[in-house]
Amino acid sequence: MGKTIIKDKLNRPLHDLRISVIDRCNFRCQYCMPAEQFGPDFQFLPRSALLTYEEIDRLAKIFVRLGVEKIRLTGGEPLLRRDLPILISRLSNIEGLLDLALTTNGVLLPKLADKLKEAGLKRVNISLDTLDDELFGEINGRGIGTGPVLEGIHAAKQAGLGIKINMVVKKGLNHSEIIPMAEYCKTHGLELRYIEYMDVGSTNGWKMDDVVTKKQIYDILKDHFELEPVGPAYFGEVAKLYRYKDTEVNVGFITSVSESFCSSCTRARLSANGQIYTCLFNGNGHDVRNFMRNGATDEQIEERITAIWNGRDDRYSDERTAETNRKRKKIEMSYIGG
Ligand code: SAM
Ligand code: SF4
Ligand code: SF4
């Protein structure tokens, strides 16, 4: 079946989809799911609220018909979702889907990397914010050292998966790890992406002062390494990329705060319970799960998604001020997966 290109109010096509497969996590990263808010009594979604693999597959096919070429699975921690390779295998068979990726904290990769690769996964982004065990334990809120994540990276490599490393940089927390992480990733041939700390959700206590900007990180890096810019790989590529001179290794920046990229944002998000979000910072989800469970046909779902996308005018990062940060109804990062 042919593809339809749909555009939003700012003329942005729908091109990529982030699917959260679970809202739970084995970490409690302080910038994402702080342990004080996500304690033992926190009510995560019941299993019946989660989209089934059949439902995810059905929606993914419709999204691909509407122009999506790239899907990333996320969470919470996606590898906690039971039998994830079954979902990967279904999604990787969708005609017209060009790229299937996954973002993970990496801890379960030693167990799952081979199975994920066999099922058709192409690449993983693994989150690691420091190489310091003690600091990492503090950041992940569970006292877990870097060992399990480093083993996860090794397992992904052995399995033949493409790997990128995500590092959220927060002032006063891990900015001293900018160079050690660069050294580690460069030595191991891994693309590192520094992510500006964002004001997602309402639990992480975000302050503009806590952000270490791309420019600040770049200035630190260029004292240690010779870097040359690399152009964007495609329209909507969110990372600003550089390459260490005389190597094939890239290093990138996700400048969500200091240099917003709303004008080329082509991403929809599907939460674990089947709500569509048109922006990381727009807390108004649009239900498709109940619609589907009440018997909607593929055509009706396609129409609903088209209407949601046609009505989209989000550009939060372009407009971000301390005021918008306080006032907006937002959605937790762990809920829609970054
Ligand atoms: N659990 C998986 C992981 O940690 O990779 C997937 C979900 S996590 C929400 C997706 C990405 O969002 C991770 O790379 C994480 O570091 C990033 N992230 C979480 N909170 C953030 C924040 N406040 N600012 C910027 N990035 C954040
Ligand atoms: Fe879990 Fe990922 Fe959020 Fe950390 S960033 S708490 S690993 S979902
Ligand atoms: Fe896209 Fe919203 Fe982020 Fe802008 S703020 S880049 S519209 S997700």
Residues with C-beta less than 6 Å from any ligand 3 atom? 260-262, 265, 279-281, 314-317
Domain-located, residue 11: no
Q: How far is the CA of 99 from the centre of ligand 1 (A)?
A: 20
pLDDT of residue 99: 95
Total domains in the fold of the chain: 1
Is residue 255 within 6 Å of ligand 1 at its C-beta?
no
pLDDT of residue 236: 66
pLDDT of residue 238: 76
- What residue's CA is closest to ligand 2, atom 8? 76
Taking alpha carbons only, the member of 220, 258, 261 closest to residue 239 is 261
Domain-located, residue 2: no
Is residue 333 within 6 Å of ligand 1 at its C-beta?
yes
Kindly report the CATH number assigned to the domain that includes residue 99: 3.20.20.70
Q: How far is the CA of 62 from the centre of ligand 2 (A)?
A: 28
Domain-located, residue 267: yes
Average pLDDT, the chain: 93
Ligand nearest to the CA of 236: 3
**What is the mean pLDDT of each successive set of 10 residues along the chain, which is 338 residues long?**
86 97 96 92 95 98 97 97 98 97 98 98 97 98 97 98 97 96 98 92 78 95 95 75 95 90 94 96 95 98 98 89 59 70
Q: How far is the CA of 83 from the centre of ligand 3 (A)?
A: 31
Domain-located, residue 1: no
**How do residues 243-270 score in pLDDT, each as one tens digit?**
999 899 999 999 988 888 899 999 999 9
Per DSSP, which regions of the chain are E strands? Answer: 16-20, 70-74, 99-104, 123-127, 162-169, 191-196, 227-230, 239-244, 250-254, 267-270, 275-277, 286-287
Measured CA to CA, the distance from residue 82 to residue 9 in angstroms comes to 38
pTM for this prediction: 0.95
Domain that holds residue 34: 16-336
Ligand 3, closest atom to CA 267?
Answer: 1
Domain-located, residue 9: no
Domain-located, residue 5: no
Domain-located, residue 94: yes
Domain-located, residue 219: yes
